[in-house]
Amino acid sequence: MKLELEFQQPLDVATIAAESGLSRNFFAARFRERIGMTVDGYLLHLRIEMAKNLLLSTNLPIKEIAYECGIPDSNYFNKQFRRATGTSPSLYRIGR
């Protein structure tokens, strides 16, 4: 499954585990063991990386980038982006 191509669709541990044929708890435990972070944390990491790429390579409004990355609430997106990068999306775009 290509997670980065399906961000507009809801993704959660239960959905991914069901697609893999494993129980939610087993999948989550094995994922954390192998990747070193929770599924939700990893998905957020991928979303932020995608956002960083879009901020630097497009002129899309930040609200649209948030939506494209699977975070339709732009306030939540800004908060999570700032937490992950130490700067706001608009300053990240300008500063690079």
Structural domain boundaries, residue 30: 11-95
Looking at residues 68-81, what average pLDDT do you find? 94
The number of domains in the chain is 1
Structural domain contains residue 35: yes
Q: Containing H/E element for 47?
A: helix 39-57
Structural domain contains residue 17: yes
Structural domain contains residue 4: no
| pLDDT exceeds cutoff 60 at 6 | no
Structural domain contains residue 58: yes
Structural domain contains residue 62: yes
Map tokens 């999570």 to a residue. 80
- Is residue 14 very low, low, confident or very high in pLDDT (cuts 50, 70, 90)? confident
State the pTM of this model. 0.82
Say if CB 87 and CB 95 are below 8 A apart: yes
Domain containing residue 74: CATH number: 1.10.10.60
Instruction: Using the Cα atoms of residue 10, residue 3, residue 95 and residue 80 in order, give the sign of their dihedral.
Output: positive
Structural domain contains residue 3: no
pLDDT tens per residue across span 34-57: 999 999 899 899 999 999 999 999
